[in-house]
Structure 1
Amino acid sequence: MFNDYIRLVVGIDFGVKYSTFAYAHVSVPNDITVHNRWLECLECKIPTALKYDESFNLKSWGFSAFERPKRKKENSGIKLVVENFLLHLSNMEHKPHLPEGLHYKQAITDYLREMGNVIKETLHSCWLDIDFFGNVLIIMPIPAEYDDKAKTIIRECMYNALLINQRDSLSLQFITKYDAASVHCIYGTSALREFNISDGSTFMIVDCGGGTVKLITRKILENEKLGEITGRNEGFCGGNFVDDEFIKFLCRKVGPSAIDFVRNNHYVQLQYMIQEFCRRVKFPFTGQREDFRPFDLDLEVVCPAIKQYVKGSEFDEMEEIEWCIELDFEDVKAMFDPVIEKILQLIRTQLNAIRSCEAMILVGDFSQSRYLQTRIKQEFYQRNINIIIPQNPTTTIVEGAVQYGLMLNELDYLNKYRIKTNFPRVFEKTYGIKITRKWNSGDPIECKHPDGMINVFLRIAKQGDEIPTDTGISMIFSSNFISRNSLDLFVTDEYDVKYCDSPGVNLIGTFKINTPSTFKNNAISITLFFDDIKIKVVAQEVDVKTGWKYETALDIIH
């Protein structure tokens, strides 16, 4: 068992924009350290960015990928800054562009290798006798939408980056970011208990990241187990959109074409300018006029290349102010407000979909914004919801990952070489199959078949149904209800529907039915159960007379 030799647990929060890691020794589980001593600066997170030369040799990573631009001519040689490569593992339709000749797996591996070197050096500086492959359990929180293919790719990249010594190593385990945040909220902080949030209470996790804001409402069950009681909700309104508003502001000053030229030809300078804005304006902004100090953006210093692209009246105006743009309070507030309003609307929608919510916990990088915190408190104060802000919202997920690993190490959790959580799960959608029955007067006449039959939606699992992990919801029915030698599985966001062609009902899979023609009235069982972060659907045919049995399975992403 792992607990015979695991001495250290490491959580790796590998994010689209920023990444970090944390660790703890199993002998002192309450002492979790989030790494904050990167080579470039004392920060808890480092940019998920790489810089290559024209032959795709890695030159730098993290903060160094956005080196400070120089007034003099930039160094010769092509430098390619690569970001957002982790999005190639997502289910988004249009993946981010990568330079021709660079595969996203190489970028993932290169970044993990560099981070892995820092992890190993850090651990060995504290515990000289640690065998990294033998004594370290790695927990990686991942987005809930990652399927088995994505996890397999991460394992392959972790193996190639020398963070595990076997592709199927049990020393690497995954947890969804939602569950990691929940673990920290329940077991890693006393905030819930301080607000008397206990068994039977519900709380909402508001994960404000860079690109997306994700919400999930959970119920605390008996013995501090977690139940998910509503579907997830998310929107593209994270902190990076404030940066986008800053760029729009610059476009109004120097012209959109100048910004486009800088983005295409001097990307490092553009990113450095954004980082300066974040460090000196965005992060300290409280929304209170008395706290604000006007900020002068000297373009000749932070983005010297831009001067060659500014034309016409914009050039004359910039010359007049000596290329120094002042951002006042109203300018900055106007960058925040449209983004924050979208977040507030997202929360309103989630709250309107549930019966009660005793607490709201803000996690994620953008949750550090004091202006966002203030607006959320003002908006939902009248609803008597406790707004809880962890000491460091940006590290909640990685700390929760370490806590999860420590919990696993204390348990006998090896069962058929798989790790199982004790978190009950909830179906976020309604699932059903298509069956055929006689048409009746209450059915739409246009759906009636020539033989007097009609296809209807037979619900198996309803949105909101809660089950423990690896148990299932089953339904048994006669094969006479199947119109052909296949079984169609449908999904909808509605709680209940009657027909498979109703609006919002979508086909997600088809099972082949192999019942021999000599068998009549066979029993067909459909079972839906959670398996890690998927729903596994098992269809089984059984001849009631002979006992002949056939089983097939289908995995769908929850």
Structure 2
Amino acid sequence: MVLEDITGKPVPAIDVFALSIKALVKHLMDALETRGTGVKPNDIQWVLTVPAIWTDNSKQFMRKSAEKAGIQKEHLLISLEPEAASIYCQHLPTEKLSGAESGFTMSKVGTKYMIIDLGGGTVDITVHEKLAGGGLTEISRATGGDCGGTSIDAEFIQLLAKIFGAPLIHTMKREQPEAYLDLIREFETVKRTITPSKQGKVNMAIPYATLDALCKKHLKEDLSTALLASPYANSISIRGDKMRFDADLFKNLFDKTIKNILTLIKEMFTRDELESVALLLLVGGFSECTLLQAEIKKTFLSRRVIVPEESGLTVLKGAVLFGHNSKAIDSRKIRVTYGITTRSLFNPVIHDQQHYIEVSDKPYCKNVFDIIMQKDTNVKPGTIVKKNYLSFKDEKTVSFAIYASEKTSPVYTDEDGCSSVGEAVIEISDPSERQDLEVEFMFGNTEVSLHAVEKKSGNTCHLSFDLI
């Protein structure tokens, strides 16, 4: 996968992620050295947080990026963002929870609540119930979408494109990236200040000289003239180096994103198991947006909406707690059905003709989805499913593809909603004879893992499981 910077220069995505992680690691290590702590990188348990809605491939991509950045495999944990936030909120006193009544506690056994993690890129929703003994169980599979805070930035860029034309905005990105980034940062600052009651004008600093020069060069008119000729002549004005928006126009930039978030939450409440969930916990940087808070409260009047103090830091602080106690989550819901591709004897009642093949004059069905773990199953961390395989004589490796499906009971690995998530390769210690292999698939942790043993010798096989 390749990413482009704002000037269009392509770079492998894994390099971008690895260098970002490396910069964070360096920042921490420099701070620890300055303070004379004597802490070394290998003394640290590193925790990387990812959205719960991410696929196994995405999680492994982050793990590989972190290893490329110099973090050792055995010192790295992957934490799911809404889970981390949920763990952190167990430890908060009531006064740190805006919207909670006096005496309320998140740690009461049987408390069910929805964690809505509103980040920059994604919105990630998980539902937990508090168990006796302090653990948390996931009572409905995670869901979400790419309607985080940055989707409002995209609406703002669209608005600018309607005023100045998309080609001019692209030229600014390419030729004046500093000015473009300043504009986006300024928008980010202003958008955090918007409240539901905001009236009048919203002022925002813009790189006036750069925009004016680009207008004169490419549009053959100055910035003010371009604005007057646009659909926003009556709702946006220029005062010095500031753009003045009508408050209602500025608030409209939030509409589409807020509507998408409300739709996601409503979709969750159509699930039977969530009818009794009365608490919504808003976390993540975008949850500090009072416009969004107000709309969620208005839409879900019968439920209490709670926003922790400094909600933008709840995931970070929860990830630290998760690093100290990764068993805080007692069980998780499996988000997809996992299986491998296999052949089985053809059954005309179950199988269709296009998957029919003959092997040694016997009727078989190809590409059968052999289910290992079904979607929506509640599993405890470390749950093991065992499968037996047989190697052929003189075969040095046994490999099999692992598939995931959106369906609960898929029949074939080549049907809609089904995709390959990776391949496992088992190395055979003695290829001169056939080996009975027992493969253990481990579920319930933040990542899926595999382990293989030769039954006869008891040897643990070297198994590589590549999800990218």
TM-score, structure 2 length as denominator?
0.75
* Residue 287 (structure 1) aligned to one of 196, 211, 233: 196
Q: Give the letter aligned to residue 91 of structure 2.
A: Y
* Residue 373 (structure 1) aligned to one of 276, 287, 293: 293
2:357 is the alignment partner of 1:449? yes
Q: Secondary structure at the match of 2:410?
A: coil
Q: Give the letter aligned to residue 349 of structure 1.
A: E
Deviates more, 1:440-449 or 1:190-199: 190-199
Deviations 1:13-66 (A, max 9, x none): xxxxxxxxxxxxxxxxxxxxxxxxxxxxxxxxxxxxxxxxxxxxxxxxxxxxxx
Unaligned ranges ≥5, structure 2: 229-236, 393-397
Q: Give the letter aligned to residue 377 of structure 2.
A: D
- Residues 189 and 448 from structure 1, CA distance in 2 versus in 1: closer, same or farther, beyond 3 angstroms? farther
Taking the aligned partners of 1:156 and 1:509, their CA distance within structure 2 comes to 21
2:308 is the alignment partner of 1:390? yes
- Residues 306 and 491 from structure 1, CA distance in 2 versus in 1: closer, same or farther, beyond 3 angstroms? same
- Residues 278 and 474 from structure 1, CA distance in 2 versus in 1: closer, same or farther, beyond 3 angstroms? same
Q: Secondary structure at the match of 1:234?
A: strand
Taking the aligned partners of 1:174 and 1:271, their CA distance within structure 2 comes to 31
2:151 is the alignment partner of 1:241? yes
TM-score, structure 1 length as denominator?
0.65
Taking the aligned partners of 1:461 and 1:246, their CA distance within structure 2 comes to 43
Deviations 1:467-514 (A, max 9, x none): 33233123558999xxxx765433212111233333223344355696
- Residues 537 and 111 from structure 1, CA distance in 2 versus in 1: closer, same or farther, beyond 3 angstroms? closer
- Residues 262 and 354 from structure 1, CA distance in 2 versus in 1: closer, same or farther, beyond 3 angstroms? farther
Contact 2:322 2:328 in 1 (8 A): no
Q: Give the letter aligned to residue 333 of structure 2.
A: V
Q: Give the letter aligned to residue 219 of structure 1.
A: E
The residue number in structure 2 matching 1:261 is: 171
Deviations 1:117-162 (A, max 9, x none): 45655xx3xxxx7434499856533216554564364356467xxx
Q: Give the letter aligned to residue 442 of structure 1.
A: V
- Residues 432 and 517 from structure 1, CA distance in 2 versus in 1: closer, same or farther, beyond 3 angstroms? farther
- Residues 494 and 552 from structure 1, CA distance in 2 versus in 1: closer, same or farther, beyond 3 angstroms? farther
Contact 1:426 1:466 in 2 (8 A): yes
The residue number in structure 2 matching 1:460 is: 372
2:281 is the alignment partner of 1:361? yes
Unaligned ranges ≥5, structure 1: 1-92, 160-166, 409-418
2:91 is the alignment partner of 1:187? yes
Q: Secondary structure at the match of 2:269?
A: helix
Taking the aligned partners of 1:270 and 1:173, their CA distance within structure 2 comes to 36
The residue number in structure 2 matching 1:498 is: 411
Counterparts of 1:136-285 in structure 2, within 5 Å, are 137=44, 139-143=46-50, 147=59, 150-151=62-63, 153-154=65-66, 157=69, 175-190=79-94, 194=104, 198-280=108-190, 282-285=191-194
- Residues 250 and 453 from structure 1, CA distance in 2 versus in 1: closer, same or farther, beyond 3 angstroms? closer
Taking the aligned partners of 2:256 and 2:165, their CA distance within structure 1 comes to 22
Q: Give the letter aligned to residue 179 of structure 1.
A: E
Q: Secondary structure at the match of 2:415?
A: coil
Taking the aligned partners of 2:431 and 2:39, their CA distance within structure 1 comes to 55
The residue number in structure 2 matching 1:15 is: none
Counterparts of 1:86-105 in structure 2, within 5 Å, are 93-97=1-5, 104=16, 105=18
Counterparts of 1:331-480 in structure 2, within 5 Å, are 331-353=249-271, 355-356=273-274, 357-381=277-301, 384-405=302-323, 407-408=324-325, 423-443=330-350, 444-450=352-358, 451-455=362-366, 456-475=368-387
Give how far 1:315 is off.
Answer: 4.4
Q: Secondary structure at the match of 1:344?
A: helix
The residue number in structure 2 matching 1:306 is: 211
Say what the alpha-carbon RMSD is for the aligned residues. 4.0
The residue number in structure 2 matching 1:317 is: 225
Contact 1:425 1:530 in 2 (8 A): no
Contact 1:206 1:363 in 2 (8 A): yes
Give how far 1:318 is off.
Answer: 5.2
Contact 2:238 2:244 in 1 (8 A): no
Q: Secondary structure at the match of 2:312?
A: helix
Taking the aligned partners of 1:174 and 1:501, their CA distance within structure 2 comes to 30
Q: Secondary structure at the match of 2:375?
A: coil
2:441 is the alignment partner of 1:528? yes
Give how far 1:552 is off.
Answer: 5.8
Q: Secondary structure at the match of 1:449?
A: strand
* Residue 328 (structure 1) aligned to one of 234, 239, 246: 246
Give how far 1:236 is off.
Answer: 1.5
